[in-house]
Structure 1
């Protein structure tokens, strides 16, 4: 189940860079609140100190926010886009998507790899490679997972976990090749050869190498 947070929202008057700059100086973050049941997006602002811990979380895209407006309106939403200053990383603007019961949303869910330290294949001298760090899915709000957990402890050399092997929520739909690899354990020799090939642009995170590779 996804993490949740409670945030107070205020509707704001005016838009534009100058207004947003003034709002940020007052300790708020400007944003917009939108959704399938709203005729138009609502300009909002939220307390920066209250939102910052959630916006800076590695799982920010899956955090369900219970928001309450000054006029008493309550709703659940997700942060769909966060704009940041490219130099300082300061949060400049946030888009909030209202969640509607029974209405699926598209979210990018982090992939949490566990069991790396005891992976059988790594102990045999292989290399554990993570090829996907998140997965996009269409899912009902109540079933949004905080992360998709992938246990690699029992993987041997040449073993692969594919998208079709992942444990996903019942309502989740993934529009990707079910045979696409998420994590795999390669032999040390194959991994080194692949790293040396030119023209390869696929980003792969090498988690660990076994004793055999270290001795070589």
Structure 2
């Protein structure tokens, strides 16, 4: 949210920050500091305000279509991003929505490096980043590498081992994965195992400091 916030302030626009119900604290702190700085420099602190809501309250939809709202800078789910683009016609709407990111694995001259890179990309923030690759397309006949040809099954198995090796230590796994952000993500993770042949099952990673946090490793499923 920072680029949109500062761009609007720099161009003379007041900013209303509407955080996700599960991310109020960091943006509340941001708004608090922004208001203090505005007041200290002689501006009206109400140039930046916070509109917090409880889960399911739906304030965002009410605010988004008000005539005073002329710019909307949104990052989040595709469903609500599409809603904003359709209904907030009075505003200039900028959205960063989720995407289905695909990697085509055709050949490589650094097989182990490729596997390490993919394993890290699949694991970082438990695959919850909008930039996380979700679909890996591997030719049925395999790929060419500096070690010779690798079959489809070999590539999948080696990638599973690479992810398992990266996340084998719980302390390191916690640092890379972080917590599952909500029950919907956990449900999708569990349902993925039913889509095809599981090459790497997801496992829960314990966190002594935050015992209530749900930390899970990625699941790799082979699809025809």
TM-score normalised over the length of structure 2 = 0.24
Greater per-residue strand proportion: 1
Q: Report 1 or 2 for greater relative contact order, CA contacts < 8 Å, sequence distance ≥ 6.
A: 1
TM-score (norm 1): 0.24
